Structure 1
Amino acid sequence: MLKRLASLALCVCAPLSAAPQIDHSRLQQLASDPFWISLGHYETAKLGGWRSYVSDPKFFLASDGAEHPDAELKATLDALYAPASSGNQHAQCVYPARTRWLKAQLNLSDLPTVDCNEFNQWFKDVSPHSTVMIFPAAYLNSPSSMFGHTLLRIDQADVQSNHTALLSYAINFGAYIEGSDNSILYAWKGLMGGYPGLFALVPYQEKLSEYRSLENRDLWEYRLNLTQAETERMVEHVWELKQIKFDYFFFDENCSYRLLELLQVARPSLRLTGQFPLTAIPTDTVKAVKEAGLVEKIEYRPSRERELLERAKPLSSDEQQWVLKVSADQQQLQEPAFKALPRDRQALIIDAAYRLERYRANGQERDPQRAQRSFELLRAINRNPPPELSIERPGLPEDGHESRTWQVGVGTHGDQAFGEYGLRMAYHDLNDNADGFPLGAQIEILQMKLRQYEGNHWQLQQLDLATIRSLTPRNELLQPWSWQVTGGLERVPGKHDDETLVSHVNGGGGGTWQLSENMLGFALGTVRVEHNADFAGFITPAAGFNTGLLWKNPLGNFSVEAKGDYFTNGEVRRSLSLNQQWELSRNLGLRLSAQREFSHLATAENEVMLELKWYHY
């Protein structure tokens, strides 16, 4: 890297007389061109002027290039005319997208001839022709995947005709993590910008395996209508960003936002990033790309987990037990009881057993015994092939409600009437409009609720930093744990029948079961740590439970939930709640909530509220 910097410094210090002299007005015109602004990843600074999202000084040729696009353009122009002896470290080789654009804008026909063999070979290997945006769906059991993700696939000219997408390359932007931070530390540092972000161009097959197999995430592929020239321009810029660090934040300067910047490099007339001044949730960015008219075709690739569950769906409980037996011991195929089954049922069982073995192998080192079991199952499949697996495509993720929620409600708490006003920055709870979201998934970030009681008495009712719930149903073949975690401020029953504002962190784990096609039942054990002014200790722990039903019905989502917390100081707090949401439209919902709270510190209280929810980014 020092070699690169030194060579570029020589480029900048080369005789300036070689570069054409352009007048100040023309320089300013070029420096304010949307394409040049996109190449430098500039945004309007809060106090005026410009600042670049790039946090790495080695990206810039001018010492003040991060704040002055005109200075960076002048330094680039000078560097392009440096002697060709620096070879692959010459500015023409390091900045091919800048070079191409400046040559076209200024008719630079007298540039030194430089042999950029490293870039040329790399570009030839990638062979960019067309672009596909990939959206791996949200996966709550991975903190880095809770909102989904986006990346770009760069296809060669013959990919569609020869079906060779696995040979393509993927452009990915993500946090660069040194070491092995645990999930909680990863989430915290991702929220606070504790990681640098880097672009990477890797074989698409690696990414496909990672998302579909290792993380069990469905993939959505959006073929974009970028021309070959636009795709090439974008790939040239990715070369310029090799090993260049950006700031990385989960909610705004993330994978999806950076890829929108790349699309603006490909097609400078696009205005995508300006739609996301605060947060850039991946599904929202997919909507923006679609609404910009960039999408010409959508394809769906189910995860291995979904394929396994779909294959096992028509099997009875006894047949699923056979799947477990056969996957563990292929000698079971010779058992008289198995051979007595109809041949078509045997085929389904064997195929499900093979898929179960492959699912269990995800992320594991190669096991010769498991490989042998898979081989034996494949031989059995060849002797008795099952029907082709057909999976109905679920609703498009971008067709779900908008990520930000505005809330207004009226209700009664005991004998007091109130109005409630709220804002949630992201994203979805168990009762929200369900289209485009999996049943039993909840992730809420930065939610605030204010209440106005009679007599114009205002109070902060709730301030949640984050609430995450993953209620994944268990079955005969897969036994995932359900879990939840939340933290923030909330009102709880207090002394003298007042509501006390407390700070808390709580979480829990347990199981969820599919009671019917559209109904889940769950039961979790919970722990809670609370700071409460009514308690003697600074913090007081509690153990408890959280159980309930979730039903997706023709009107919307209905839930009934019972909770209990048993504190070490003797306080006991329990509640029973019912919620029904009516889906008025994709981005409008009406929710009726009823709750009864019990506490040793206060009289039991009833609360009823009718709330209008407007999902609007």
Structure 2
Amino acid sequence: MPKRLLLCVLLAACAPLHAAPAPSLQALDALANDPYWIALGHYETGKLGGWRSYVDDSGFFLAEHGDSDPSAELSATLHALYQPAEAGDSHPQCVFPARTRWLREQLQLDDLPQPSCTEYQRWFDDIQPHRAVLIFPAAYLNSPSSMFGHTLLRIDQADVDANGTALLSYALNFGAYIEGMDNSMLYAWKGLMGGYPGLFSLVSYRAKLAEYSRLENRDLWEYQLNLTPAETARMIEHVWELKQVRFDYFFFDENCSFRLLELLEIARPGVALTAQFPLTAIPTDTVRAVKQAGMVERIDYRPSREKELLARASQLDETEQDWVLALADDSNLLQDNAFRGLALERRALIQDAAYRLVRYHATGAERDSVQAQRSFELLQAINRNPPGELSVARPELPENGHQSRTWQLGAGSRGDRSFAEYGLRMAYHDLNDNLAGFPLGAQIEILQFKLRQYEGNHWQLERLDLATIRSLTPRNRLLQPLSWQVAGGLERVPGTHEQRELVSHINGGAGGTWQLGDDTLAYAMATARLEHNSDFAAFIAPAAGFNSGLIWNNALGNLSVEAKGDYFLQGEVRRSLALNQQWEVTDNLGLRLSATRQFSQLQTPENELLLTLRWYHY
């Protein structure tokens, strides 16, 4: 962008300009504070007053202090639009088509020069924007950047429905630009602290679809928006202004979802979306906001490759699933007499499941000629004996789940002491929360604190969790996923002299989860823990342990029973038994009963009983 504007600056210095209009200062001031001009500059109210732009790229502004002065930027833009047309593609009208159109309409600028914006026009004609679809790839716990889900826009041409060419549409995405190979911990830290620049990009929707539903095995939800062709075009012309323009990228607020809401405000002036997210912009919350603004007219569901495989496998008994595993390992068994002795329609289902299993295991891996040949032979068998149409049950809409921030008010007792507990969790969901819109066995909690007020007005910080993440995906005959957990922060643990010490810790574990019924999971994990505890001689005390339990989604809500233990190298043994039952009063209101018994070599066992009202409210 700066290179394209360089010619503009030179022309401004060396060539006479057309006569720019001289609107009154009052008119200019009104335009500079118009919500649409504020949106075009991505301005927000500064912490100490005034304005600041989310854009962190000086090439986006024509005025010296345009990033903090909408009025100066408007005056500079108005002046620049009258530069000689000979500048061609570098003319400010070509670089800023959305600003140009809006100022022309507001000030009736009928005498503007007419530069030839060949590059922009070719780009716009290639996209042919007619309709926009908001795409939500569902949460994927095994990727730090995707654990909350993601949003992007698909830009459709006018004939996309008639010709069935949605895969040929463009995907408009905003994401962190990462150079090199940062590990997951560094990626998460830099994402939290704004260490990556964020950029808009337009890529093939087919490529994005493959990335999300195939490479990461994520469900996709497609929300067709009711934007008119004119509104969609207005949004895309502003996207041109943002090409290669950098924003700071933050996982929780200035992220993919927040940036797309800004674009929708450009498309439909007057709709208020970003103002609803002053602190965090969780993708499901932003989808809900778009829907509540009346901008969604249809919702389509694309299941992941894993969902399709499991749906096909659910039609098979154990013996038939054994055949699936065998054929996925050796396609020569297609000619085995025992296999050919099965009924034709059962063979069709088995072959199809085996093919899907082979393709599932090939996801993200380098091409293997043996595997490719096996896949081809299974596909040939499917073509000779096609199965019935696959039907995948559509899950609850993700935006129908509870809201992300949780306020907690509880009353309980520990031993012979009563207390009140006050809590706040910034995001997002735990194993006992209201289940609608979430998978059973998934937990993502970020920035949670709990403060207790004991009898005698004695206040105490009970815990401060930076992050607690669990992925309890059940194993089955065909797929054997690893369950895992990681957590870190501050918490109270049994200490000497019958006191409870506040310790810092980080812990994690891995193991397996098994489905005991449609609504029940059992899990068992080996764990490891590092703890800083003033009761221990060592600055950092390591421990090995276990974590096992049961989750049951029942008529009231979610019940969990959990046993865990930590065996420290210095001799301390800490174990606990816990039971939690949540009553889902409404989608955004829950009542939770928690009972815990804790054992430690440092003090006598203690019982705790707690009743908590949980309000899910952004």
TM-score band w.r.t. shorter chain: over 0.9
Determine the C-alpha separation between the residues in 2 that align with 1:5 and 1:366.
Answer: 45
Q: Report the AA paired with residue 558 of structure 1.
A: L
Determine the C-alpha separation between the residues in 1 that align with 2:225 and 2:142.
Answer: 30
Q: Kindly state the Cα deviation for residue 2 of structure 1 after the two structures are TM-superposed.
A: 5.0
Equivalence for 1:423: 424
From the superposition, tell whether residues 430 and 556 of structure 1 become closer, same or farther in structure 2 (CA, over 3 Å).
same
Determine the C-alpha separation between the residues in 1 that align with 2:184 and 2:12.
Answer: 44
Determine the C-alpha separation between the residues in 1 that align with 2:226 and 2:315.
Answer: 40
Determine the C-alpha separation between the residues in 2 that align with 1:17 and 1:322.
Answer: 78
Paired residues of 1:11 and 1:90 also in contact (CA < 8 A): no
Using the size of structure 2 for normalisation, the TM-score is 0.98
Equivalence for 1:478: 479
Determine the C-alpha separation between the residues in 2 that align with 1:337 and 1:354.
Answer: 19
Structure 2 SS opposite 1:359: helix
1:140-539 to 2 correspondences below 5 Å: 140-539=141-540
Q: Kindly state the Cα deviation for residue 484 of structure 1 after the two structures are TM-superposed.
A: 0.6
Structure 1 SS opposite 2:355: helix
From the superposition, tell whether residues 8 and 513 of structure 1 become closer, same or farther in structure 2 (CA, over 3 Å).
farther
Equivalence for 1:7: 7
Equivalence for 1:87: 88
User: Higher mean Cα deviation, 272-281 or 85-94?
Assistant: 85-94
Structure 2 SS opposite 1:297: strand
Structure 2 SS opposite 1:560: strand
Determine the C-alpha separation between the residues in 1 that align with 2:579 and 2:341.
Answer: 48
Q: Aligned pair count?
A: 617
Cα offsets for 1:301-345 (capped at 9, x unmatched):
001111011111122222212111111211111222212222222
Determine the C-alpha separation between the residues in 2 that align with 1:213 and 1:120.
Answer: 34
Structure 1 SS opposite 2:21: coil
Equivalence for 2:555: 554
Determine the C-alpha separation between the residues in 2 that align with 1:537 and 1:84.
Answer: 74
Equivalence for 2:72: 71
Q: Kindly state the Cα deviation for residue 263 of structure 1 after the two structures are TM-superposed.
A: 0.3
Structure 2 unaligned runs (5+)? none
Using the size of structure 1 for normalisation, the TM-score is 0.99
Q: Report the AA paired with residue 435 of structure 2.
A: A
Structure 2 SS opposite 1:109: coil
Paired residues of 1:11 and 1:80 also in contact (CA < 8 A): no
Equivalence for 1:591: 592
Cα offsets for 1:133-184 (capped at 9, x unmatched):
0000001011110000000110000112221101100110000000111111
Cα offsets for 1:383-407 (capped at 9, x unmatched):
2211100111100000000100011
Paired residues of 2:62 and 2:77 also in contact (CA < 8 A): yes
Cα offsets for 1:560-579 (capped at 9, x unmatched):
11111011100010001111
Equivalence for 1:26: 27
Equivalence for 2:127: 126
Determine the C-alpha separation between the residues in 2 that align with 1:494 and 1:316.
Answer: 53
Paired residues of 2:5 and 2:92 also in contact (CA < 8 A): no
Paired residues of 1:504 and 1:531 also in contact (CA < 8 A): yes
Paired residues of 1:358 and 1:374 also in contact (CA < 8 A): yes
Paired residues of 1:12 and 1:78 also in contact (CA < 8 A): no
Q: Percent identity?
A: 71
Paired residues of 2:213 and 2:220 also in contact (CA < 8 A): yes
Q: Report the AA paired with residue 4 of structure 1.
A: R
1:568-587 to 2 correspondences below 5 Å: 568-587=569-588
User: Higher mean Cα deviation, 218-227 or 469-478?
Assistant: 469-478
Q: Kindly state the Cα deviation for residue 3 of structure 1 after the two structures are TM-superposed.
A: 2.8
Q: Report the AA paired with residue 101 of structure 1.
A: W
Q: Report the AA paired with residue 162 of structure 1.
A: N
User: Higher mean Cα deviation, 292-301 or 80-89?
Assistant: 80-89
Determine the C-alpha separation between the residues in 2 that align with 1:145 and 1:345.
Answer: 38
Q: Kindly state the Cα deviation for residue 237 of structure 1 after the two structures are TM-superposed.
A: 0.5
Structure 1 SS opposite 2:252: coil
From the superposition, tell whether residues 255 and 413 of structure 1 become closer, same or farther in structure 2 (CA, over 3 Å).
same
Paired residues of 1:324 and 1:353 also in contact (CA < 8 A): yes
**Considering only aligned residues, what root-mean-square deviation do their CA atoms show, in Å?**
1.1
Q: Report the AA paired with residue 43 of structure 2.
A: Y
2:44 corresponds to 1:52: no
Determine the C-alpha separation between the residues in 2 that align with 1:258 and 1:15.
Answer: 38
Q: Report the AA paired with residue 231 of structure 1.
A: T
Determine the C-alpha separation between the residues in 1 that align with 2:200 and 2:11.
Answer: 25
Determine the C-alpha separation between the residues in 1 that align with 2:461 and 2:17.
Answer: 63
Q: Kindly state the Cα deviation for residue 11 of structure 1 after the two structures are TM-superposed.
A: 5.1
Determine the C-alpha separation between the residues in 2 that align with 1:615 and 1:324.
Answer: 44
Q: Report the AA paired with residue 491 of structure 1.
A: R
Determine the C-alpha separation between the residues in 2 that align with 1:518 and 1:182.
Answer: 35
Determine the C-alpha separation between the residues in 1 that align with 2:372 and 2:74.
Answer: 57
